[in-house]
Amino acid sequence: MASAWALKDVAVSYLVNKSTPLLFRASFVKGQRTLMLVFWPRVCEQYTDINVKMFNVYTGELIYESSNIRDNFELIDITTNESTMYLIEIINDNGVGDQVPLVIFTSLELKEASIPGVSLLPYVENITMTDSESKVVKFGIRNTGSYPVFNVTIDVHTSSSFINIVNIGHGNFPKLNPKETLNFSLFIQPVDIGEASINITCMYHFLDLSFTYSKTVTVSVVDDDTKPPEIKVLEVQTPSVLEILLLGKKFMVKFKVTDESGVAEVYVRYKISKGEYSDWLICKKISENIYVFEISASTLKSHLGEKVYIQFRAIDMDNDRPGDNLEVTSQEYSFQLSTLSYEYLILASIIVVIALIVALRRLRR
């Protein structure tokens, strides 16, 4: 029995910080039932409030607690019936100095332990998305330490008006084992163009200590369509005077309008010579992306030989948010209408000749 209580030959001296606990791990094998620890603060009246706790590392259960060690030593007698590992937490709570010198004697070999941490996976710093798409982004909280952490809580927040976010994964985990990753997802919905920050906070517990880990992810919302519609004139039909007067043929312009988001509306306005522009008129669509504009023969008869000026205006279907659609007004196109010139003289001569022939025939009768 004496050997079971024998202290290690070498006692180690430590400095216990007030802000950070000193942690040790003690491993037990089956049949080893007793642990004896002697904590001996160096003799000084101000160093009195040393708190010692022992936890089952796998369950977080508090096994032993001794507060305010005020004598020169403290004896901890723990009996265990299982093969397990304990963590011993030593806290300086004296409120006087930053460090307390402490000598530890033990019947077991103690190894210093570090406080486990967590990290956010994947290490996403920036997310880029368009204003027309919503995204589900997967994240993970990973225990990067050697011991379990407990009561893990995920909080997600943004103060930006550019996006809406919803945590569609788990938000609370009772336990996170070493090297284990627990996943959650964020549904991100764009509201407007701009840059937003998502603050992800992970709160977790280790032994009787609480910790907070924070990560900021930047979301950039960009416009999915930054180009206005493109307008291209395909064909122009300018009828001759004879076609206008005899056949009633119209002046016609055929043009093509294209856009990544589709074309919502197409308008045209025109003026003849130095007149005023008409109001914007809705264009006639004859096939996919193909439109025509026509001027009637009756209008052309009054303006033979003059110029017609035309402008086109198109608006795309990019309406992911108010004011998102783009529009374009084309350059001013000018087209020369047919003149009276020779065609009209030939037509008049033909009409005169026909009239004379008809008159002569009547006289002969």
Q: pLDDT tens across 122-136, in order?
A: 667 789 998 888 988
Locate the domains of the chain by residue range.
Answer: 3-113, 118-222, 230-344
pLDDT, one tens digit per residue, over 150-174 is 999 888 888 888 899 887 766 678 8
For range 87-110, the mean pLDDT: 66
**Nearest CA to 189 among 198, 181, 180?**
198
Distance CA 291, CA 301 (A): 24
- Is the alpha carbon torsion for 262, 267, 273, 275 positive or negative? negative
Q: Which two tokens stand for residue 35?
A: 């642990």
Distance CA 255, CA 84 (A): 82
pLDDT of residue 8: 47
Is-same-fold flag (118-222; 230-344)?
yes
pLDDT of residue 229: 92
Q: Evaluate if residue 244 carries a pLDDT over 70.
A: yes
Q: Evaluate if residue 90 carries a pLDDT over 80.
A: no
Distance CA 115, CA 312 (A): 70
Instruction: Give the residue carrying structure tokens 């809705």.
Output: 282
Instruction: Classify domain 118-222 by CATH number.
Output: 2.60.40.10
Task: Give Cα separations from 41 to 6, 52, 90, 99, 174 (angstroms).
Answer: 20, 12, 12, 11, 37
pLDDT of residue 131: 86
Q: What percent of the chain has pLDDT over 90?
A: 27
Distance CA 17, CA 232 (A): 77
String of b and e for 235-256 (b: at least 16 CB within 10 Å)? eeebbebebbbeeebbbebbbb
pLDDT of residue 44: 47
Q: What band does 26 get if pLDDT is binned at 50, 70 and 90?
A: confident
Reduced to 3 states, what is the DSSP secondary structure of residue 220?
Answer: strand
- Chain centroid to Cα 116, Å, comes to 30
The two beta strands, 333-336 and 327-329, are unpaired
Q: Evaluate if residue 222 carries a pLDDT over 70.
A: yes
pLDDT of residue 224: 82
pLDDT of residue 86: 74
pLDDT of residue 89: 80
Q: Evaluate if residue 37 carries a pLDDT over 70.
A: no
pLDDT of residue 3: 37
Q: Evaluate if residue 289 carries a pLDDT over 60.
A: yes
Q: Evaluate if residue 81 carries a pLDDT over 70.
A: no
In terms of average pLDDT, the best of 35-39, 93-97, 100-104, 115-119 is 115-119
Distance CA 101, CA 303 (A): 107
pLDDT of residue 43: 46
**Nearest CA to 330 among 275, 267, 251, 239?**
267
Q: 21: which DSSP letter?
A: -
Burial class (CB in 10 A: 0-12, 13-18, 19+), 272: middle
pLDDT of residue 79: 61
Distance CA 148, CA 207 (A): 9
Distance CA 67, CA 286 (A): 89
3 state SS for 107-136: CCCCEEECCCCEEEECCCCEEEEECCCCEE
Q: In the predicted model, what is the mean pLDDT of the chain? A: 79
The two beta strands, 290-295 and 230-237, are unpaired
Distance CA 143, CA 173 (A): 12
Q: Which segment of 50-59, 87-96, 147-156, 313-322 scores lowest on mean pLDDT?
A: 87-96
Hey, which residues does 266 pair with through a beta bridge? 314
Q: Evaluate if residue 335 carries a pLDDT over 50.
A: yes
pLDDT of residue 267: 96
**Nearest CA to 147 among 192, 179, 171, 190?**
179
Q: What band does 309 get if pLDDT is binned at 50, 70 and 90?
A: very high
Classify domain 230-344 at the CATH superfamily level.
Immunoglobulins (2.60.40.10)
Distance CA 261, CA 285 (A): 17
CATH 2.60.120.380 fits 3-113, yes or no: yes
